[in-house]
Structure 1
Amino acid sequence: MNRRLLLLVPLVSALSFAAVTRVEITERGDVLQGAAFGPAGAYERVAGKVYFAVDPKLAPNRIIADIDLAPRNAEGKVEFSADLYMLRPREAAKGNGTALVEISNRGGKGLLGMFDLAAGSSDPRAPADFGDDFLLEQGFTLVWIGWEFDVPPGPRLMHLYAPVATDNGKPITGLVRSEWEGDKRVTTISLGDRNQVAYPLADPNAPENRMYVRDTVAGERRTIARDKWTFSDATHVTMESGFEPGKIYEVVYQAKDPVLAGLGPAAVRDLASYLKFGGAETPLSDEQKTTKRALAFGVSQSGRFLRTFLYDGFNQDEKNRRVFDGVWAHVAGAGRGSFNARFAQPSRDGHPFLNVAYPVDLAPFTDDDGLLKKAAQANVVPKIFYSNGSYEYWGRSASLIHTTQDGKQDAAIARDTRIYFFAGSQHGNGSIPPRSVEAQNQASVNDYRDSMRALLVAMQAWLKDGTEPPTSEYPRIGKDQLVAASALAFPKLADLHLPRIKREAYRLDFSVEPPRVGAAFPTLVPQVDLDGNETSGIKMPEIAVPLASNTGWNLRSKTIGAPDELYSMVGSWIPFPVNRTERENRRDPRMSIEERYKSKRDYLELITAAAQKLVSRGLLLDRDVAKLRDRAAKEWEYALKLN
């Protein structure tokens, strides 16, 4: 028997534990031709599909929406499957003992881009896909499992294959609402969110089918006459007069065939449980013998998934054991989402001018106010990191995770929770030069990923031996660091429009569609200094030693409509004047670059000192200091060239 078959047999049998019944391996091979990555040595790629069967009578499975309406096998269990992708040490014993499970964002894979500073890839194979190999050198086993049923077809995208709920075999129908906000005029739109697969139309002539349009989030809905639009197929709508950019369109329609979306979090739960615990009744694979911890990481949508996962009670497996020892929800703001409900739409998020009225910003928001209630009752609370940028305070209501619901006081933080705020950052990392967007200001250049690497090392130490991670870094009301948007003390700059509208966390009543809108929960934003840079949080060297005002907000360009609305997920980089003459000519109250720094060398020395300060606080790795200095040099050249 060859080596491949010898390794395949124990992996298949070991997966036959509890809710995991079997796995099909479609590919197994060396990563980068068997190159060694630090103490972990060579890595291998494992891809395939995991098969599950859950008992709907077990208490931990009763939380799955519509579980009683799913088809059952001869044993009375509900069957489903999901795509599997792993990057693991070829000799599992050489790993660091932690399975790092990324909750896939809309079917993709972002771990290597976030922590290895790599090019994005759904099927990493080339050296560029692995960046500087950081995660592999650290010895993590990287795991992806499909959890989302509406991911479109695509190479190596992670899918959940779940059954459809029925009423004793009869189709189930219900109202579904689709929302569209575009930057260009089109005549046909999908009923799904962006590229996601939509629920199919049940009846094109149903009287409940309606279309609305409004000009602003808080604006009045206007009904579009039924003879002005049509269903071009089961998942698309056409209006010959066109859908205009800068407006919000909604289609409420009678849909059919709700997928059991809650089997997605169950798949994540049960695979992680398998990796940690295995089972005496099955042969143990080397992975199960060496996986001591499970850490879940999610960005944006998948960060909201993790907050919902904890709230719903999925961190307790079928044997009532803690599944994830650590959970890290990044740039999720205060959100949860539609991940475990009939006609769930997992991709719908909730931004200032995108997917604005979906079940996302739902109370409770803080850990001690109820988010962790079920986990606490089951004694399965993990260690938690919540990390957000400035954008999440403007666009994702992030202040609610650490304030009281009335917005008047700082809330207590749970003992095993840390909150980290990256000052002056947008939803994703910035670049030099800034990426091109149809916004009023240049996009943010701030890149906080190097600090994320240090925090990952800190989380691993916390899980492994109890070493406390860096203290929380976030804006406080009590320190005048968190204020109402109207109290923002931003410097007055010519031709700069400040945001007048931010994301509001409205109380929504979903008993009707569109939902009834109630009062908003008060949300606050980080205060800024005389330069327009935020006074709190983790300040990357380019923020601590600035060449510009760095914000988490930007405004839509007039060319795409709605210029008073925030541009979703993008911040601003507003450079300082180069010299005093330019500053005075522009009547810019901010000191010029030449007035701040004696020379480029002086600037870079200050950058290095700021980086070393982060190292001393456990917020940066020493190995990354030189890289940040080089990055700052590029920003210097860009700022002077631009001006």
Structure 2
Amino acid sequence: MANNSRWGQPDGVLELYQMGSEGPQWWHKFPDHVRGLPPGGILERCESTKTCPKIVETFGGAEVFALKMTTSWVGTSANNDIPLPKNVRRYYLPSSTHGGGNGATTENPADTGVGCPGNNWGRGSLRANPVPATGLVNRLRNGLRDWLMHNTLPPPSRWPTLKEKTLVDPTKDAMGFPSGVPGIPDSIFLPENFIFPVLDYDWGPEYDHSDALGNPTNAPPPIRHIIKMKVPRVDADGNELGGVPTVQRDAPLATYLGWNITAGPGDAEYDERPFHAGQVCNYIGGMVPFFKTKAQRLAAGDPRLSLEERYGTHAGYVAAVTAAANNAFEQGYLLAADRDALIAQAVASDVCNQLGDGGMCNPGP
């Protein structure tokens, strides 16, 4: 609970009774019927004077689940996509952790827990998400520079939308999340466990809720509304749809998540902090690797295809990565140097390429 939000910012995730989501959360002027505020937008003032800058924004899965990002896409009513102004580009890195992961390419990622910063303190029960942001950020830095200096347009914005049916309600059924993925119980998808909503506070008559200015006289403030959130839909592996093309989504080794699960009693990662057990672990994305062989995944009851069924051989995996990297490059979301590095990383990886594999995902007896 935040008690000094008028004078400081204890945590960017916003604890209970902490201001920070007041006023428009979107760029373009748009209605705010739920909170009863006049239409507005972050760029409203500079649009009136024609002094708005060129803007490139990029974020990933962790920002959806912990930082309430989808309100900026669909508003407080959550029933319409908000159009982007011409001076703004938006790029969503699907199934990624906050700031991107380490980019490791291995069939045996370290099985160690991760710390949960933010509101739900504890340890995450799933492995750390390796999906990197480096390649996309490199491309967008070049794109923004060329846009500013030469008026060369960046690649088209890509993010999950209602129109494309890649942005849905935060439920297991609406997302299409597969049942039986090891380590992911259905209970994580309950409303009280899964996603942080925007809370609409009444800070009192001396506070301007549109501009977040003035004297908040209500302490603690009443909660007037819980703003509806949306999340990306997922594919049969549980990986997010929408957003920019990535090697990890198009040639995956795991289910990659923008969220993790706070460990509780009975979990190997449990650290004696039970308060948020079984709830989403903020900021830190998780991953659940695929089994190597079909027999292994059937024995475990895992609905996701194994590496054997997907790629067959190390060469098959390299071919899939090559196709995925070329696709991202050709669509304009990856530099040539980063494309080549991703392919080289796959060639050098241990995926179906460990001692005794003979380059096969299932070398047999």
What TM-score do the two structures reach when normalised by structure 1?
Answer: 0.45
* Among 584, 588, 599, the residue aligned to 2:298: 584
Pair 1:542 & 2:230 matched: no
Query: What CA distance in whole angstroms lies between the structure 2 residues aligned with 1:350 and 1:416?
Result: 27
Residue equivalent to 2:219: 513
Please identify, of 369-378 and 450-459, the stretch whose mean Cα deviation from structure 2 is larger. 369-378
Residue 627 of structure 1 aligns to which amino acid in structure 2?
A: A
* Among 346, 368, 389, the residue aligned to 2:60: 389
Say which structure is richer in strand: 1
Larger Rg: 1
- What's the offset of the Cα at 1:409? 1.4
Query: What CA distance in whole angstroms lies between the structure 1 residues aligned with 2:326 and 2:7?
Result: 46
Q: Is the 8 A contact 2:56 2:90 kept in 1?
A: yes
Pair 1:604 & 2:318 matched: yes
Residues 383-532 of structure 1 mapped to structure 2, 5 A cutoff? 383-431=54-102, 432=104, 433=109, 436-437=113-114, 438-486=123-171, 487-493=174-180, 494-497=182-185, 498-500=188-190, 501-510=194-203, 511-532=217-238
Residue 189 of structure 2 aligns to which amino acid in structure 1?
A: P
What SS does the aligned partner of 2:279 have?
Answer: coil
Q: Is the 8 A contact 1:458 1:618 kept in 2?
A: no
* Among 19, 22, 32, the residue aligned to 1:362: 22
Deviations 1:187-245 (A, max 9, x none): xxxxxxxxxxxxxxxxxxxxxxxxxxxxxxxxxxxxxxxxxxxxxxxxxxxxxxxxxxx
Cα gap change, 1:557 to 1:640, in 2 (>3 Å): farther
Deviations 1:454-502 (A, max 9, x none): 1110110100111110101000111110001112211112442233321
Cα gap change, 1:634 to 1:537, in 2 (>3 Å): farther
Query: What CA distance in whole angstroms lies between the structure 1 residues aligned with 2:22 and 2:223?
Result: 13
- What's the offset of the Cα at 1:350? 1.6
- What's the offset of the Cα at 1:453? 0.4
Deviations 1:350-400 (A, max 9, x none): 26xxx3442222231211122111111232101111211011111111112
What SS does the aligned partner of 1:367 have?
Answer: coil
Q: Is the 8 A contact 2:325 2:339 kept in 1?
A: yes
Query: What CA distance in whole angstroms lies between the structure 2 residues aligned with 1:380 and 1:587?
Result: 57
Cα gap change, 1:379 to 1:479, in 2 (>3 Å): same
Query: What CA distance in whole angstroms lies between the structure 2 residues aligned with 1:411 and 1:460?
Result: 26
What SS does the aligned partner of 1:628 have?
Answer: helix
What SS does the aligned partner of 2:280 have?
Answer: coil
Deviations 1:306-348 (A, max 9, x none): xxxxxxxxxxxxxxxxxxxxxxxxxxxxxxxx7xxxx431453
Cα gap change, 1:428 to 1:357, in 2 (>3 Å): farther
Residue equivalent to 2:35: none
Pair 1:624 & 2:312 matched: no
Residue 499 of structure 1 aligns to which amino acid in structure 2?
A: F
Deviations 1:536-569 (A, max 9, x none): 1113212210111111011111133211321110
Residue 377 of structure 1 aligns to which amino acid in structure 2?
A: S
Q: Is the 8 A contact 2:93 2:133 kept in 1?
A: yes
- What's the offset of the Cα at 1:422? 0.2
Query: What CA distance in whole angstroms lies between the structure 2 residues aligned with 1:375 and 1:636?
Result: 52
What TM-score do the two structures reach when normalised by structure 2?
Answer: 0.77
Q: Is the 8 A contact 1:448 1:540 kept in 2?
A: no
Query: What CA distance in whole angstroms lies between the structure 1 residues aligned with 2:336 and 2:299?
Result: 42
Residues 48-59 of structure 1 mapped to structure 2, 5 A cutoff? none
Query: What CA distance in whole angstroms lies between the structure 2 residues aligned with 1:357 and 1:635?
Result: 48
* Count of residues in correspondence between the two structures: 302
Pair 1:564 & 2:316 matched: no
Structure ranking higher on relative contact order (CA contacts 8 Å, 6+ apart): 2
Unaligned runs of 5+ in 1: 1-178, 180-249, 254-337
Residues 14-413 of structure 1 mapped to structure 2, 5 A cutoff? 179=1, 252=3, 343-346=6-9, 348-350=11-13, 355-369=15-29, 370-413=41-84
Q: Is the 8 A contact 1:421 1:474 kept in 2?
A: yes
Q: Is the 8 A contact 1:555 1:564 kept in 2?
A: yes
Unaligned runs of 5+ in 2: 30-40, 115-122, 204-216, 265-269, 356-361
Cα gap change, 1:423 to 1:513, in 2 (>3 Å): same
